[in-house]
Amino acid sequence: MSFSSDINHIMSIDNSLNAYCTGGIYYENLPENFELGKDWIVYSFNKIAQENCLGNTDTFTKYTVYLKIVANDTVKLETINDHIVNYLNSTIYGGIQDIVFIGDNHTLDLDKNIYMNTLNFDCTYV
């Protein structure tokens, strides 16, 4: 198993999260010409630190997980946002031992009439 497969499992297994995202949940990039009338999630991650303990190398690794929510309505955006934070906080699966919400950043695209929120989570992986 790898961090990538574990976080993919977490992001794809929750039926209620999938129901909120009428366009789908994707890793790294949205499809070309994605439909603006649907709600989307795009996630990615970066490895930020590796911790060692008492001579044992790679005891655990810290990641930052980024989730961008794309919606055409602010109420939908906030509803999806709240669900994701509640769903992911303290999640454990495979080598993922903890996920903690850190913050978010709201943006909008007036030309496309879409709202976006990027959520940041710290994640501990062993």
Residue with tokens 């949205």: 30
How does pLDDT run across 1-58, given as a tens digit for each residue? 799 999 999 999 999 999 999 999 999 999 999 999 999 999 999 999 987 776 666 6
Q: What is the pTM of this model?
A: 0.90
Q: Rounded to an integer, what is the distance from CA 72 to the centroid of its chain?
A: 19
CB atoms within 10 A of CB 25: 17
Of 117, 31, 32, the C-alpha closest to 74 is 117
Homologous superfamily of the 3-125 domain (CATH): Phage tail protein-like (3.30.2000.10)
**Mean per-residue pLDDT over the chain, rounded:** 93
Residue with tokens 């129901």: 19
